[in-house]
């Protein structure tokens, strides 16, 4: 009987060692199992030591890391405490949210820089053209660019054609032709360009509905 008990104990120990050495092969690179394994390894803890601290079996830890089972809420909370991270970060939510926020923040900063730069350049160009060439009555057309270019940036960023200031774009084209190129002529026939404004937004709306 003693020999049989010893054999059973040795078998159990071997099974525990095998479970500890088994790699998380079934766990995807982005799963909670791979995060548990990676964080445990960073703490330089074996599965047995880790299991002892959590009050679970090494087999349970092995199953978590291989993606065959998931820790319950209490264990997740305890895991977050051991790893000294938030629960959201443990389950993979916090990093995704941070990436979205960082991307949005980056675009917001770029938008402010673009708007500020265009405004400054437009004012400088207006003053220079007016002072040097005495064309104050024409240079004002440039101010449409302050609204057009940032809206183009928003259109590209959000992939939404309705963000584009097509109305101001048409105004810019209209006054560029009639004021700059034709020297204050042909205002009347060229007003037909403004008919394209409702057409543009109608087409954009139709495309968005079909998506």
- 110: confidence class by pLDDT, cuts 50, 70, 90: confident
Alpha helices per DSSP H over the chain = 2-21, 32-42, 47-54, 58-66, 73-83, 87-91, 94-133, 136-139, 145-158, 166-175, 187-190, 196-210
pLDDT value at position 93? 55
- Alpha-carbon distance of 80 to 103, in angstroms, equals 27
Q: Does residue 88 form part of some domain? A: yes
Residue 92 contacts residue 30 (beta carbons within 8 Å) = yes
Cα 155 to Cα 109, 126, 205, distances in angstroms: 16, 26, 14
| 17-34 tens-digit pLDDT | 444 444 433 434 447 888
- Alpha-carbon distance of 156 to 159, in angstroms, equals 5
- Alpha-carbon distance of 185 to 129, in angstroms, equals 21
pLDDT value at position 186? 85
Q: What 3-state class would DSSP assign to 135?
A: coil
Which of 108 and 8 is assigned the larger pLDDT? Answer: 108
pLDDT value at position 20? 42
DSSP 8-class letter at 141: G
Q: Does residue 40 form part of some domain? A: yes
Q: Does residue 211 form part of some domain? A: no
* Mean pLDDT estimate for the chain: 79
188 and 99 inside one domain: yes
pLDDT value at position 209? 84
- Given a cut of 80, whether residue 113 has pLDDT beyond it is yes
pLDDT value at position 185? 86
- Alpha-carbon distance of 63 to 43, in angstroms, equals 19
pLDDT exceeding 90 applies to what percent of the chain? 36
- Alpha-carbon distance of 161 to 166, in angstroms, equals 9
Number of domains in the chain: 2
Side-chain-side CA neighbours of residue 66 (13 Å)? 14
pLDDT value at position 129? 94
- Alpha-carbon distance of 16 to 51, in angstroms, equals 11
Of the three residues 71, 92, 113, the one that is the final residue of a domain is: 92
- Given a cut of 80, whether residue 200 has pLDDT beyond it is yes
- Per-residue pLDDT, averaged over 154-164, amounts to 89
How many other C-beta atoms are found inside a 10 Å radius of the C-beta of residue 12?
10
Of the three residues 53, 74, 92, the one that is the final residue of a domain is: 92
Q: What 3-state class would DSSP assign to 180?
A: helix
- 175: confidence class by pLDDT, cuts 50, 70, 90: very high
111 and 170 inside one domain: yes
45 and 122 inside one domain: no
pLDDT value at position 210? 81
Look-up: residue for tokens 């479970």? 19
pLDDT value at position 92? 66
Which of 110 and 27 is assigned the larger pLDDT? Answer: 110
pLDDT value at position 104? 52
Which range among 88-97, 109-118, 182-191 has the greatest average pLDDT?
A: 182-191
103 and 85 inside one domain: no
Q: Does residue 118 form part of some domain? A: yes
118 and 172 inside one domain: yes
Boundaries of domain holding 161: 95-200
- Per-residue pLDDT, averaged over 100-121, amounts to 72
**Nearest-5° Cα angle at 69, 80 to 81:** 10
pLDDT value at position 78? 83
- CATH number for 45: 1.10.260.40
- Alpha-carbon distance of 154 to 143, in angstroms, equals 18
């Amino acid at each position: 009987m003693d020999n049989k008990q010893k054999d059973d104990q040795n078998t159990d120990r071997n099974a525990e060692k095998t479970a500890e050495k088994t790699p998380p092969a079934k766990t995807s690179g982005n799963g909670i199992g791979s995060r548990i394994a990676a964080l445990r390894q960073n703490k330089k803890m074996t599965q047995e030591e880790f299991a002892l601290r959590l009050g679970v079996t090494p087999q349970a830890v092995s199953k978590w890391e291989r993606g065959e089972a998931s820790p319950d809420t209490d264990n997740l909370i305890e895991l977050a405490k051991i790893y000294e991270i938030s629960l959201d970060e443990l389950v993979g939510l916090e990093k995704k949210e941070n990436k979205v926020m960082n991307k949005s923040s980056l675009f917001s900063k770029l938008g402010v820089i673009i708007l500020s730069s265009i405004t400054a350049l437009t004012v400088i160009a207006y003053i220079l053209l007016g002072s040097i060439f005495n064309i104050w009555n024409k240079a004002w057309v440039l101010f449409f660019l302050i609204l057009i270019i940032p809206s183009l940036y928003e259109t590209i960023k959000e992939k939404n054609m309705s963000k584009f200031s097509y109305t101001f774009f048409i105004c810019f084209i209209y006054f560029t032709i009639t004021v700059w190129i034709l020297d204050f002529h042909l205002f009347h026939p060229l007003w037909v360009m403004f008919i394209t404004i409702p057409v543009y937004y109608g087409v954009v709306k139709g495309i968005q509905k079909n998506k």
